[in-house]
Amino acid sequence: MTKLKVYEYPHPILKQKAEKVGHVDEQLRRLFDDMLETMYAENGCGLAAPQVGVSKRLVVVDIAHEGEEPAPLYLADPEIIWSSEETEVCEEGCLSVPEMRAEVERPASVKIRYLDYNGTECELLAEDFLAVAVQHELDHLDGILYIDKLSRLKRQMLLKKYNKLQKERKVIR
Ligand code: NI
Mind listing the pLDDT tens digit for each residue in 67-105?
Answer: 899 999 999 999 999 999 999 999 999 999 999 999 999
pLDDT at position 123 over 80: yes
168 annotated active-site:
no
Please tell me the distance from the alpha carbon of residue 89 to that of residue 165, in angstroms, as a whole number. 26
Distance in angstroms (rounded) separating the CA atoms of residues 130 and 81? 16
Residue of 17, 146, 35 whose CA lies nearest to 89: 146
For residue 136, the CA-to-ligand 1 centroid distance in Å is 6
Residue 5 in domain? no
pLDDT grade for 172, boundaries at 50, 70 and 90: low
CATH number at residue 88: 3.90.45.10
Q: Which helix (DSSP H) or strand (DSSP E) does residue 42 occupy? A: none
Measured between its terminal Cα atoms, the distance across the chain in Å is: 26
Contact 76, 21 (CB under 8 A): yes
State the Cα–Cα distance between residues 32 and 27, nearest whole angstrom: 9
d(CA 162, CA 169): 10
Global pTM value: 0.96
Q: Is residue 87 part of a domain?
A: yes
Determine the distance separating the centroid of ligand 1 and the alpha carbon of 94, expressed in angstroms: 4
Cα(44) to ligand 1 centroid in Å equals 9
The residue range of the domain holding 27 is: 12-172
Neighbours of ion ligand 1 (CB under 5 A): 94
CA of 149 to the centre of ligand 1 (A): 12
Among residues 66, 79, 137, 168, which one is catalytic? Answer: 137
Looking at residue 125, its amino acid is L
Name the domain count of the chain. Answer: 1
173 pLDDT tier (thresholds 50, 70, 90):
low
